[in-house]
């Protein structure tokens, strides 16, 4: 009798944990539209900060909301959105902004302000959950 009760308690706990995990997995990511930006910086300055001292720039910018002003160098389509590459005035890289639901797509060569969450530096500085900022 005790084995049956223990089995049902463990089964109910497993279902509860599984349900909670599914809820967290399906929960939409928080966007940055309504968040105040921690920094306002040009694309060239942001890229240079990472290129010169990646450790210090990571401490300063990663997981922060950043408004970046720059010139659109490249536009790449992706499933459900676009990636804007903002020029950094160097040939090595730029600022890659992942925009999931763009209201309108800017033209290459236009000056834009993008607000997004900085996630780090590979060949480009990466911003996710980005939006075109109208402020």
Three-class DSSP labels, 33-72: CCCCCCEEEEHHHHHHHHHHCHHHHHHHHCCCEEEEEEEE
Above 60 in pLDDT, residue 135? no
Task: Give the model confidence (pLDDT) of 69-102 as tens digits.
Answer: 999 999 988 887 899 999 988 888 899 999 887 7
Task: Give the model confidence (pLDDT) of 21-68 as tens digits.
Answer: 888 888 776 677 778 888 999 999 999 999 999 999 999 999 999 999
Please report which helix (H) or strand (E) contains residue 113, including its range.
Answer: strand 111-121
Query: Comparing 107 with 31, which gets the higher pLDDT?
Result: 107
**What's the pTM?**
0.75
Band of the pLDDT at 104, cuts 50, 70, 90?
confident
121 in helix, strand or coil?
Answer: strand
Residue 46 exposed, middle or buried by CB count within 10 Å (0-12, 13-18, 19+)? buried
């Amino acid at each position: 009798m005790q084995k049956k009760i223990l089995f049902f308690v463990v089964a109910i706990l497993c279902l509860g944990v599984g349900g909670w995990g599914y809820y967290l997995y399906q929960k939409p990511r928080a966007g940055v539209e309504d968040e105040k930006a921690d920094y306002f910086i040009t694309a060239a300055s942001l890229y240079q900060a990472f290129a010169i001292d990646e450790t210090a720039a990571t401490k300063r910018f990663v997981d922060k909301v950043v408004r970046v002003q720059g010139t659109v160098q490249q536009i790449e389509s992706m499933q459900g959105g676009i990636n804007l590459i903002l020029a950094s005035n160097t040939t090595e890289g730029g600022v890659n902004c992942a925009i999931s639901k763009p209201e309108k797509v800017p033209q290459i060569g236009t000056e834009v302000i993008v607000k997004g969450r900085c996630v780090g530096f590979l060949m480009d500085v990466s911003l996710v959950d980005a939006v075109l900022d109208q402020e």
